[in-house]
Amino acid sequence: MSDIKNIFDISGRAMASQLVRLNTVASNLANAGTVSATEEEAFRSLKPVFATKFADSFENNGVSTVDVVGIERVNRDPERAFMPNHPSADEDGYVYRAAVDENEEMIEMVEASRQYQNNVEVISTLRALMMRTISMGK
């Protein structure tokens, strides 16, 4: 990854990471009600893995941003439900519900969007400061 040069790198990449997080929440919620025939096929919720990315140069010591280094499935067993009339039920009449906790996803969504807003706020504040600095002495 390229080095962190300025505020647009710091907050911009953090916003991109939060957006990945919001996308995983969206796909988890979209798959929340699905059922499947086998335990292996059942949907398990996806979680992005965040990692701090520090600036490479010594000049920028202490400056860092965040990157998504991977998206992982949570290790959670899908719920087994007895639905013998369901078309994808197995021979015993069971289906497997997606392992998604809706409450957890909603909290994740609210938190991600708040942190996204915080980063937007930082960028717009510092951009205004830059504009005022450019017109210094006028």
CB contact at 8 A, 71 and 83: no
**Residue (4 or 95) nearer to another protein, CB:** 4
Q: How far is the CB of 51 from another protein (least distance, A)?
A: 7
Of residues 88 and 117, the one with the C-beta less far from another protein: 117
Q: Rounded to the nearest whole angstrom, what is the least distance from the CB of residue 48 to another protein in the complex? A: 9
Shortest distance (Å) from residue 130 CB to another protein: 9
Tell me how far, at minimum, the Cβ of 114 lies from another protein, in Å.
Answer: 8
Interacting residues with another protein (CB under 8 A): 6-7, 10-11, 13-14, 18, 21, 50-52, 58-66, 111-112, 115, 118-119, 122, 125-126, 129, 132-133, 136-137
Residue number with CB closer to another protein (21 or 96): 21
Amino acid at 63: V
DSSP 99: B
Indicate the residue among 8 and 82 with the shorter CB distance to another protein. Answer: 8
- The size of the chain, in residues, is 138
CB of 61 to another protein, least distance (A): 6
> Are 90 and 37 contacting, i.e. CB atoms less than 8 angstroms apart?
yes
Taking the CB of residue 79, how many other CB atoms lie within 10 A of it? 12
How is the beta sheet containing 79-82 ordered, strand by strand?
Answer: 35-36, 94-97, 79-82
Cβ–Cβ < 8 Å for 50, 68 = yes
Q: Return the number of the residue (20 or 37) whose C-beta is nearest another protein.
A: 20
The answer to whether 11 touches 123, Cβ cutoff 8 Å, is: yes
